[in-house]
Amino acid sequence: MREEKILINGLQVNYKIAGEGKPILILHGWGGSSDSWIKVQEILAEKDCKVICPDFPGFGKSKTPLCPWSVGDYAKWVDDFANSLEMERFFVISHSFGGRVAIKFAVNYPEKLNGLILCASAGIKPKPSFKTKIIFRLAKIGNAVFTPKRLARFKDGARNLFYIFLRRKDYVKASGTMKEAIKRVLDEDLFLELPKIRTKTLIVWGEADKMVPPKYGRIFRENIKNSELVILPEVGHSPHLEVPGRLAEIVLEYLK
Protein backbone atom coordinates (compact mmCIF):
# COMPACT_ATOMS: atom_id res chain seq x y z
CA MET A 1 0.00 0.00 0.00
CA ARG A 2 1.21 3.46 -0.78
CA GLU A 3 0.01 6.94 0.05
CA GLU A 4 -0.20 9.64 -2.59
CA LYS A 5 -1.25 13.26 -2.92
CA ILE A 6 -2.96 14.92 -5.87
CA LEU A 7 -4.14 18.43 -6.70
CA ILE A 8 -7.79 18.63 -7.79
CA ASN A 9 -9.24 22.02 -8.67
CA GLY A 10 -6.55 23.73 -6.60
CA LEU A 11 -7.19 21.55 -3.53
CA GLN A 12 -4.55 19.06 -2.39
CA VAL A 13 -5.97 15.71 -1.30
CA ASN A 14 -4.45 12.58 0.17
CA TYR A 15 -5.32 9.00 -0.76
CA LYS A 16 -4.16 5.41 -0.24
CA ILE A 17 -3.89 2.90 -3.06
CA ALA A 18 -3.21 -0.84 -2.95
CA GLY A 19 -3.43 -3.89 -5.20
CA GLU A 20 -4.20 -4.53 -8.85
CA GLY A 21 -7.39 -5.75 -10.49
CA LYS A 22 -11.02 -4.74 -10.08
CA PRO A 23 -11.12 -0.98 -9.33
CA ILE A 24 -12.77 -0.10 -6.01
CA LEU A 25 -13.21 3.36 -4.52
CA ILE A 26 -13.88 3.61 -0.76
CA LEU A 27 -15.70 6.65 0.66
CA HIS A 28 -15.23 7.02 4.42
CA GLY A 29 -17.63 8.49 6.98
CA TRP A 30 -17.77 11.94 8.59
CA GLY A 31 -14.89 12.45 11.01
CA GLY A 32 -13.08 9.42 9.55
CA SER A 33 -10.32 9.10 6.97
CA SER A 34 -8.61 6.53 4.77
CA ASP A 35 -6.81 5.26 7.90
CA SER A 36 -10.02 3.68 9.21
CA TRP A 37 -10.29 1.45 6.11
CA ILE A 38 -6.71 0.16 5.97
CA LYS A 39 -7.54 -3.39 7.10
CA VAL A 40 -10.39 -3.87 4.63
CA GLN A 41 -8.31 -2.24 1.90
CA GLU A 42 -5.42 -4.64 2.52
CA ILE A 43 -7.66 -7.72 2.43
CA LEU A 44 -9.34 -6.68 -0.82
CA ALA A 45 -6.01 -5.75 -2.39
CA GLU A 46 -4.80 -9.32 -1.82
CA LYS A 47 -7.81 -10.64 -3.76
CA ASP A 48 -7.14 -9.12 -7.19
CA CYS A 49 -8.63 -5.70 -6.44
CA LYS A 50 -7.19 -2.25 -6.97
CA VAL A 51 -8.49 -0.35 -3.95
CA ILE A 52 -8.30 3.43 -3.64
CA CYS A 53 -9.38 5.26 -0.50
CA PRO A 54 -9.12 9.06 -0.44
CA ASP A 55 -9.39 11.41 2.50
CA PHE A 56 -12.39 13.59 1.70
CA PRO A 57 -11.53 17.31 1.51
CA GLY A 58 -11.68 18.57 5.09
CA PHE A 59 -10.69 15.18 6.58
CA GLY A 60 -7.52 13.23 7.26
CA LYS A 61 -4.53 14.69 5.44
CA SER A 62 -6.56 16.45 2.73
CA LYS A 63 -6.94 20.21 2.69
CA THR A 64 -10.18 21.85 3.77
CA PRO A 65 -12.36 23.61 1.16
CA LEU A 66 -12.47 27.39 1.44
CA CYS A 67 -16.26 27.36 1.58
CA PRO A 68 -18.74 24.83 3.04
CA TRP A 69 -19.67 22.01 0.67
CA SER A 70 -22.98 20.21 0.22
CA VAL A 71 -23.45 16.49 -0.48
CA GLY A 72 -23.67 17.36 -4.17
CA ASP A 73 -20.33 19.17 -3.99
CA TYR A 74 -18.67 16.09 -2.51
CA ALA A 75 -20.25 13.88 -5.19
CA LYS A 76 -18.88 16.19 -7.89
CA TRP A 77 -15.48 16.02 -6.21
CA VAL A 78 -15.60 12.19 -6.33
CA ASP A 79 -16.15 12.42 -10.08
CA ASP A 80 -13.24 14.85 -10.45
CA PHE A 81 -11.04 12.59 -8.30
CA ALA A 82 -11.90 9.51 -10.36
CA ASN A 83 -11.25 11.38 -13.61
CA SER A 84 -7.88 12.59 -12.31
CA LEU A 85 -6.89 8.97 -11.64
CA GLU A 86 -8.33 7.90 -15.02
CA MET A 87 -10.91 5.62 -13.38
CA GLU A 88 -13.59 5.13 -16.03
CA ARG A 89 -15.78 2.54 -14.25
CA PHE A 90 -15.43 1.22 -10.72
CA PHE A 91 -17.13 -0.17 -7.64
CA VAL A 92 -17.89 2.12 -4.70
CA ILE A 93 -17.86 1.08 -1.04
CA SER A 94 -19.23 3.76 1.28
CA HIS A 95 -19.85 4.24 4.98
CA SER A 96 -22.22 6.59 6.84
CA PHE A 97 -21.61 10.10 5.41
CA GLY A 98 -19.74 8.47 2.54
CA GLY A 99 -23.03 6.71 1.80
CA ARG A 100 -24.74 10.07 1.34
CA VAL A 101 -22.09 11.00 -1.21
CA ALA A 102 -22.33 7.60 -2.88
CA ILE A 103 -26.11 7.90 -3.25
CA LYS A 104 -25.78 11.30 -4.90
CA PHE A 105 -22.94 10.01 -7.08
CA ALA A 106 -24.95 6.95 -8.16
CA VAL A 107 -27.83 9.18 -9.24
CA ASN A 108 -25.71 11.81 -11.00
CA TYR A 109 -22.99 9.60 -12.54
CA PRO A 110 -24.52 6.11 -13.05
CA GLU A 111 -22.30 5.45 -16.06
CA LYS A 112 -19.24 5.41 -13.78
CA LEU A 113 -20.44 2.62 -11.49
CA ASN A 114 -19.95 -1.13 -11.79
CA GLY A 115 -21.61 -1.61 -8.42
CA LEU A 116 -22.51 0.14 -5.19
CA ILE A 117 -22.06 -0.92 -1.55
CA LEU A 118 -23.74 1.12 1.18
CA CYS A 119 -22.44 0.31 4.65
CA ALA A 120 -24.48 1.80 7.53
CA SER A 121 -25.34 4.64 5.19
CA ALA A 122 -26.71 7.96 6.33
CA GLY A 123 -29.00 9.98 4.08
CA ILE A 124 -32.56 9.52 5.28
CA LYS A 125 -33.77 12.31 7.51
CA PRO A 126 -35.77 10.75 10.38
CA LYS A 127 -39.19 12.12 11.23
CA PRO A 128 -38.86 14.21 14.39
CA SER A 129 -40.25 12.65 17.55
CA PHE A 130 -42.35 14.63 20.00
CA LYS A 131 -39.24 15.13 22.16
CA THR A 132 -37.26 16.41 19.16
CA LYS A 133 -40.04 18.82 18.23
CA ILE A 134 -39.95 20.26 21.75
CA ILE A 135 -36.15 20.63 21.54
CA PHE A 136 -36.42 22.44 18.20
CA ARG A 137 -39.07 24.73 19.67
CA LEU A 138 -36.79 25.54 22.59
CA ALA A 139 -33.95 26.12 20.14
CA LYS A 140 -35.96 28.77 18.33
CA ILE A 141 -36.72 30.46 21.63
CA GLY A 142 -33.06 30.22 22.60
CA ASN A 143 -32.01 31.78 19.32
CA ALA A 144 -34.15 34.81 20.12
CA VAL A 145 -32.87 34.95 23.70
CA PHE A 146 -29.23 35.00 22.65
CA THR A 147 -29.70 37.64 19.95
CA PRO A 148 -28.78 40.69 22.13
CA LYS A 149 -25.10 41.59 21.79
CA ARG A 150 -24.32 40.98 25.45
CA LEU A 151 -25.53 37.39 25.17
CA ALA A 152 -24.34 36.63 21.64
CA ARG A 153 -21.03 35.20 22.90
CA PHE A 154 -22.96 32.38 24.61
CA LYS A 155 -24.83 31.44 21.42
CA ASP A 156 -22.30 28.95 20.02
CA GLY A 157 -22.07 27.12 23.33
CA ALA A 158 -25.84 26.87 23.57
CA ARG A 159 -26.05 25.62 19.98
CA ASN A 160 -23.45 22.93 20.74
CA LEU A 161 -25.49 21.72 23.71
CA PHE A 162 -28.55 21.59 21.45
CA TYR A 163 -26.78 19.35 18.95
CA ILE A 164 -25.48 17.12 21.74
CA PHE A 165 -29.11 16.54 22.78
CA LEU A 166 -29.77 15.48 19.19
CA ARG A 167 -26.70 13.22 19.25
CA ARG A 168 -25.12 15.20 16.43
CA LYS A 169 -21.67 15.16 17.99
CA ASP A 170 -20.02 15.56 14.59
CA TYR A 171 -21.39 19.11 14.51
CA VAL A 172 -19.86 19.87 17.90
CA LYS A 173 -16.46 18.52 16.84
CA ALA A 174 -16.44 20.40 13.52
CA SER A 175 -14.95 23.86 13.14
CA GLY A 176 -14.74 26.62 10.54
CA THR A 177 -16.24 25.84 7.16
CA MET A 178 -16.76 22.19 8.15
CA LYS A 179 -19.25 23.22 10.86
CA GLU A 180 -21.39 24.94 8.24
CA ALA A 181 -20.84 22.02 5.84
CA ILE A 182 -22.22 19.43 8.26
CA LYS A 183 -25.31 21.59 8.83
CA ARG A 184 -25.94 21.50 5.08
CA VAL A 185 -25.32 17.75 4.97
CA LEU A 186 -27.65 16.96 7.88
CA ASP A 187 -30.41 19.16 6.48
CA GLU A 188 -30.56 17.26 3.16
CA ASP A 189 -32.90 14.27 2.93
CA LEU A 190 -31.93 11.80 0.19
CA PHE A 191 -34.95 9.53 0.56
CA LEU A 192 -36.47 10.56 -2.79
CA GLU A 193 -33.13 9.86 -4.51
CA LEU A 194 -33.15 6.16 -3.61
CA PRO A 195 -35.59 4.98 -6.34
CA LYS A 196 -33.40 6.76 -8.91
CA ILE A 197 -30.47 4.41 -8.25
CA ARG A 198 -30.19 1.85 -11.03
CA THR A 199 -26.86 0.30 -10.04
CA LYS A 200 -26.86 -3.15 -8.42
CA THR A 201 -26.56 -2.30 -4.73
CA LEU A 202 -25.41 -4.21 -1.66
CA ILE A 203 -26.59 -2.79 1.68
CA VAL A 204 -24.65 -3.84 4.79
CA TRP A 205 -25.81 -2.99 8.31
CA GLY A 206 -24.84 -3.77 11.88
CA GLU A 207 -27.67 -5.25 13.90
CA ALA A 208 -26.50 -3.27 16.95
CA ASP A 209 -26.08 0.05 15.12
CA LYS A 210 -27.48 2.73 17.43
CA MET A 211 -26.30 5.71 15.39
CA VAL A 212 -28.22 4.67 12.26
CA PRO A 213 -30.54 1.82 13.34
CA PRO A 214 -31.10 -1.23 11.07
CA LYS A 215 -34.63 -0.05 10.20
CA TYR A 216 -33.00 2.43 7.84
CA GLY A 217 -31.20 -0.40 6.09
CA ARG A 218 -34.59 -1.95 5.41
CA ILE A 219 -35.88 1.35 4.05
CA PHE A 220 -32.91 1.46 1.68
CA ARG A 221 -33.63 -2.11 0.59
CA GLU A 222 -37.30 -1.34 -0.07
CA ASN A 223 -36.58 1.76 -2.13
CA ILE A 224 -33.50 0.82 -4.15
CA LYS A 225 -34.29 -1.53 -7.00
CA ASN A 226 -31.94 -4.46 -7.55
CA SER A 227 -30.59 -4.24 -4.00
CA GLU A 228 -29.77 -6.77 -1.29
CA LEU A 229 -29.55 -6.27 2.49
CA VAL A 230 -27.09 -8.08 4.77
CA ILE A 231 -27.49 -7.64 8.54
CA LEU A 232 -24.42 -8.37 10.69
CA PRO A 233 -25.29 -9.75 14.16
CA GLU A 234 -23.75 -8.02 17.20
CA VAL A 235 -22.10 -5.36 15.03
CA GLY A 236 -22.50 -1.61 15.53
CA HIS A 237 -22.11 1.39 13.23
CA SER A 238 -18.58 0.61 12.01
CA PRO A 239 -18.32 -2.91 10.50
CA HIS A 240 -15.07 -1.93 8.75
CA LEU A 241 -13.46 -1.47 12.18
CA GLU A 242 -15.37 -4.09 14.19
CA VAL A 243 -15.36 -7.01 11.71
CA PRO A 244 -13.12 -5.98 8.76
CA GLY A 245 -12.52 -9.59 7.69
CA ARG A 246 -16.22 -10.42 7.61
CA LEU A 247 -17.04 -7.21 5.73
CA ALA A 248 -14.31 -7.93 3.18
CA GLU A 249 -15.74 -11.44 2.64
CA ILE A 250 -19.19 -9.99 1.97
CA VAL A 251 -17.75 -7.45 -0.45
CA LEU A 252 -15.77 -10.13 -2.34
CA GLU A 253 -18.87 -12.32 -2.64
CA TYR A 254 -20.76 -9.34 -4.07
CA LEU A 255 -17.96 -8.63 -6.57
CA LYS A 256 -18.32 -12.13 -8.00
Low-confidence ranges of the chain (pLDDT < 70): 127-175
Do 85 and 173 lie in a common domain?
Answer: no
Measured distance CA(189)–CA(212) in Å, rounded? 14
pLDDT digits (tens, 9 = 90+) for 208-235: 999 999 999 999 999 999 999 999 999 9
Asked whether residue 210 falls in the same domain as residue 158, the answer is no
Kindly state whether residues 196 and 118 are assigned to the same domain. Answer: yes
Using CA atoms, how far apart are residues 95 and 89, in angstroms rounded to an integer?
20
The reply to whether 45 and 163 lie within a common domain is no
Pairing of strands 49-54, 11-18: antiparallel
* pLDDT tens-digit series, residues 91-128: 999 999 999 999 999 999 999 999 999 999 999 987 65
| One domain, residues 110 and 44 | yes
Are 176 and 205 found together in one domain?
no
Domain count for the chain, please give it: 2
CA distance linking residue 77 with residue 82, whole number of Å: 9
Cα–Cα dist 197/194, whole Å: 6
Let me know how long the chain is. 256
**pLDDT attached to residue 235:** 98
Integer Cα distance of 160 and 88 in angstroms: 42
Question: What's the rounded Cα separation, in Å, for the pair 62 and 78?
Answer: 13
Range of the domain at 87: 2-125+191-255
Q: Report pLDDT for 88.
A: 96
Q: Are 107 and 138 members of one domain?
A: no
> Could you write out the DSSP letters of every residue in the chain?
-EEEEEEETTEEEEEEEE-SSEEEEEE--TT--GGGGHHHHHHHHTTTEEEEEEPPTTSTTSPPPSS---HHHHHHHHHHHHHHTT--SEEEEEETHHHHHHHHHHHH-GGGEEEEEEES---PPPPPPHHHHHHHHHHHHHHHHT-SHHHHTTHHHHHHHHHHHTT-HHHHH--THHHHHHHHHHH---GGGGGG--S-EEEEEETT-SSS-HHHHHHHHHHSTTEEEEEETT--S-HHHHSHHHHHHHHHHHH-
Same-domain check for residues 100 and 141: no
pTM confidence score: 0.85
